[in-house]
Amino acid sequence: MSIQTSDVFEAMREDLDLVRERVSQSAHIDFPIVSGMVQDIVQAGGKKLRPLLLLLAGKAFTYDRPRHVTAAAGVELLHTASLVHDDSIDRAAIRRGQPTLNSQLNTGSVILIGDFLFAQSAILAAATDNVRVVSIFASTLGDICDGQLREMLSAHILSDNRDDYLKRIYGKTASLFAGAAEMGAVIGGATDREIAQLRGFGTDLGMAFQIVDDVLDLRETASELGKPAGNDLRQGVATLPAMIYAQSLPADSAERETLERIVVGDEIDDAVIDSVVGRIRESGALEAATAVADDYVASAGDRLDVVRDDGIRSHLRDLLAITVARST
Amino acid sequence: MSIQTSDVFEAMREDLDLVRERVSQSAHIDFPIVSGMVQDIVQAGGKKLRPLLLLLAGKAFTYDRPRHVTAAAGVELLHTASLVHDDSIDRAAIRRGQPTLNSQLNTGSVILIGDFLFAQSAILAAATDNVRVVSIFASTLGDICDGQLREMLSAHILSDNRDDYLKRIYGKTASLFAGAAEMGAVIGGATDREIAQLRGFGTDLGMAFQIVDDVLDLRETASELGKPAGNDLRQGVATLPAMIYAQSLPADSAERETLERIVVGDEIDDAVIDSVVGRIRESGALEAATAVADDYVASAGDRLDVVRDDGIRSHLRDLLAITVARST
CA distance A69 to A58: 10
Measured from the Cβ of residue A248, the count of other Cβ atoms closer than 10 Å reads: 14
Residues 6+ away with beta carbon under 8 Å from B139: A123, A126, B179
Is B186 within 8 Å of B130 (Cβ atoms)? yes
Q: Do B131 and A135 touch (CB under 8 A)?
A: no
At CB < 8 Å, which residues of chain A contact B?
29-31, 34, 82, 85, 88-90, 107-109, 111-116, 118-120, 122-123, 125-127, 129-131, 134-135, 137-139, 141-142, 144-146, 148-150, 152-154
Contacts of residues B5-12 at CB distance under 8 Å and 24 or more positions apart, as own/partner, are B5/B318, B5/B321, B5/B322, B7/B314, B7/B315, B7/B318, B8/B52, B8/B56, B8/B315, B8/B318, B8/B319, B8/B322, B9/B47, B9/B52, B11/B311, B11/B315, B12/B52, B12/B55, B12/B56, B12/B315
For A66, A108, A133, A209, B33, the CA distances from A54, given in Å and listed in that order, are 13, 32, 12, 16, 37
A48: phi > 0 → left, psi -120 to 50 → alpha, else beta; which? left
Domain of residue B186 covers 5-325
Q: Do A122 and B108 touch (CB under 8 A)?
A: no
Q: Do B153 and A129 touch (CB under 8 A)?
A: no
Residues 6+ away with beta carbon under 8 Å from B328: none
Chain A nearest-CA residue for B121:
A138
Q: Do A135 and B114 touch (CB under 8 A)?
A: no
Residue type, B141: L
Find how far residue A308's CA is from the centre of its chain: 27
The count of domains in chain A is: 1
3-class SS letters over A40-92: HHHHCCCCCHHHHHHHHHHHCCCCCHHHHHHHHHHHHHHHHHHHHHHHHHHCC
CA distance A168 to B34: 17
pTM of the model: 0.90
Reference B214, options B242, B234, B177; nearest CA is B242
Give, for all 328 residues of chain B, the pLDDT tens digit.
445 556 898 899 999 999 999 999 998 887 777 788 888 877 776 789 999 999 999 999 999 999 999 999 999 999 999 999 988 887 777 776 777 888 878 888 889 999 999 999 999 999 999 999 999 999 999 999 988 888 887 767 787 788 889 999 999 999 999 999 999 999 999 999 999 999 999 999 999 999 999 999 999 876 666 667 898 899 888 999 999 999 999 989 999 999 999 998 898 899 999 999 999 999 999 999 999 999 999 999 999 999 999 999 999 999 999 988 865 4
Please compute Rg for chain A using Cα positions: 20
- Check whether A328 has a pLDDT greater than 90: no
Nearest to A122 among B112, B130, B138 (CB): B138
At CB < 8 Å, which residues of chain B contact A?
29-31, 34, 82, 85, 88-90, 107-109, 111-116, 118-120, 122-123, 125-127, 129-131, 134-135, 137-139, 141-142, 144-146, 148-150, 152-154
CA distance A292 to A296: 7
Give the alpha-carbon dihedral of A151, A144, B143, B92, to 10 degrees: -20
First to last CA, chain A: 10
Minimum mean pLDDT range among A152-161, A292-301, B8-17, B237-246: A152-161
CA distance A156 to A143: 20
Residue A146 DSSP label: H
CATH number at residue A75: 1.10.600.10
Helix (H), strand (E) at residue A239:
none
What pLDDT score was predicted for residue A251?
A: 87
Mutation target to probe the A interface, by most A beta carbons within 10 A, among B109, B118, B148 is B118
Task: Choose between B226 and A249: higher pLDDT.
Answer: A249
